[in-house]
Amino acid sequence: MRIAFLVAPEGVEQVELTQPWRAVTEAGHTPRLVSTDSGRIQAFNHLDKADTFPVDQLVDDASVKEYGALVLPGGVANPDLLRTNEQAVAFVKSFFDAGKPVAAICHAPWTLIEADVLRGRTLTSWPSLRTDIRNAGGSWVDEQVKVCDGGPGTLITSRNPDDLKAFCEAFTAEFAKTGGQ
């Protein structure tokens, strides 16, 4: 199954991209880096520049039909930039409309808020998003990983890089249930 990793041209937290990417690969899936600009994206280790990664596909050219699931890595700047891009927000929303699983960590729920897909869902995130999630109609919990089946598609969320092992285990298990659908 092909898995889309949606990231902005800069600002993604590197470990929140690379560890889930590795988990997807080890589970036998094919990860693809989707972004709002072509070329390479700039990852960060918190506030310091880290590695760059090649973009596989522009979000403008991507379709939910090509992918079985979506991963939204965090970093503060990454989801903040994504939520201002209409095509990125529409791409995220299309996974919920299609009932496909979405995994989001740390600050990534900012993009989910903009896509208006959190009403009635319970999720976790970086603690500073708590009020934003509640204002968007979601319920926030302080848990390592939260799997929410309320509404179309499954949403798997996690708080921060310290939760990556549990996050990767949870979303790969959920992705396996879909069988690429």
Q: pLDDT tens digits for 137-178?
A: 999 999 999 999 777 789 999 999 999 999 999 999 999 988
**pLDDT tens digits for 65-120?**
999 999 999 999 999 999 999 999 999 999 999 999 999 999 999 999 999 999 99
Look up 107 and say whether it is catalytic: yes
Q: Parse the chain into domains and list their residue ranges.
A: 2-178
CATH topology of domain 2-178: Rossmann fold (3.40.50)
Check 32, 83, 100, 107 and give the catalytic one: 107
Interatomic CA distance for residues 112 and 67, integer angstroms? 18
Residue 164 contacts residue 103 (beta carbons within 8 Å): no
Which ranges of the chain would DSSP assign to H, the alpha helix?
14-26, 77-82, 86-97, 109-114, 130-135, 164-178
Crossing angle for the helix pair 164-178 and 14-26, nearest 10 degrees?
40
User: Residue 180 pLDDT more than 60?
Assistant: no
Task: Give the pLDDT score at 179.
Answer: 64
Q: Report the side by side order of strands in the sheet with 69-72.
A: 57-58, 30-35, 2-7, 69-72, 102-105, 155-158, 145-148
Residue 55 contacts residue 29 (beta carbons within 8 Å): no
Task: Give the pLDDT score at 178.
Answer: 80
**pLDDT tens digits for 28-76?**
999 999 999 999 999 999 999 999 999 999 999 999 999 999 999 999 9
Q: Which residues contact 151 (CB under 8 A, 6 or more apart)?
A: 96, 117, 119, 120, 121
